[in-house]
A and B are shown apart, each in its own frame.
Chain A
Amino acid sequence: EDKVVQSPLSLVVHEGDTVTLNCSYEVTNFRSLLWYKQEKKAPTFLFMLTSSGIEKKSGRLSSILDKKELSSILNITATQTGDSAIYLCAVAPSGTYKYIFGTGTRLKVLA
């Protein structure tokens, strides 16, 4: 059965800290991996990683895909209180439009 596991489940840090969130997966014929940020409402898209694009960066956020280890990390440097959110990882098997979501990591950044 396809599955996605995220760790840790929750994390509390102070402003300025660097955090690393993990996502590991077991899917049949991997197509892509997505990261989302969810505050109070809709999850918003952060990054999409594929075999041809294993590293993405935007400002203080960056993500790497390790196809050998079947995992991805999301790094956030110099965290701010506005980074407090649930971070969701989703993986798509090839041949389908569906994504399989992990349970998410709840990040809280203290001032």
Chain B
Amino acid sequence: DVKVTQSSRYLVKRTGEKVFLECVQDMDHENMFWYRQDPGLGLRLIYFSYDVKMKEKGDIPEGYSVSREKKERFSLILESASTNQTSMYLCASSEEYQPQHFGDGTRLSIL
């Protein structure tokens, strides 16, 4: 069974801090994704990666960056956290054109 693990379930940070969200998958999937989920807006794609060191912008990349140094790990970085980045962050992985498998999410609050 595919397991996607996000490092924290809840996280509280301060405005201006650099924030790292980590995601690890155990199924050797090529593709990994970062979304944020907000009420009334659904899931919006921030970045995705289709291979190690490869990345592509999603719909809302501003204020975020990503890193994929190893196939199993995909990190989301908030360069300078702001209050409008308070949200639920979901990581997912998939094999080629197959359905995505999601982690449990990180609820991030920026104060």
**Residues of A in contact with B (beta carbons under 8 Å apart):** 31-32, 34, 36, 41-45, 48, 88, 90, 92, 97-99, 101-104
B97 to A42, Cβ gap below 8 A? no
**Residues of B in contact with A (beta carbons under 8 Å apart):** 4, 31, 33, 35, 40-45, 48, 50, 58, 90, 94, 96-97, 99-105
Q: A101-B43, A103-B42 are in contact. Are A42 and B48 (CB under 8 A)?
A: no
For the complex with contacts A36-B102, A98-B48, 7 further pairs of A-B residues with Cβ separation under 8 Å are A42-B101, A42-B102, A42-B105, A43-B102, A45-B100, A97-B31, A101-B42
B42 to A88, Cβ gap below 8 A? yes
A42 to B104, Cβ gap below 8 A? yes
A97 to B94, Cβ gap below 8 A? yes
Judged by DSSP, the binding face of B is strand
Q: How far is it, in angstroms, between the C-alpha of A102 and the C-alpha of B40 when the chains are bound?
A: 10
For residue A8, give the distance in angstroms from its CB to the closest CB of chain B. 13
B97 to A97, Cβ gap below 8 A? yes
For residue B1, give the distance in angstroms from its CB to the closest CB of chain A. 11
Chain B residues, Cβ within 8 Å of A31: 97
A98 to B102, Cβ gap below 8 A? no
For residue A24, give the distance in angstroms from its CB to the closest CB of chain B. 14
For residue B98, give the distance in angstroms from its CB to the closest CB of chain A. 8
For residue A69, give the distance in angstroms from its CB to the closest CB of chain B. 21
Chain A residues, Cβ within 8 Å of B100: 34, 45, 90, 99
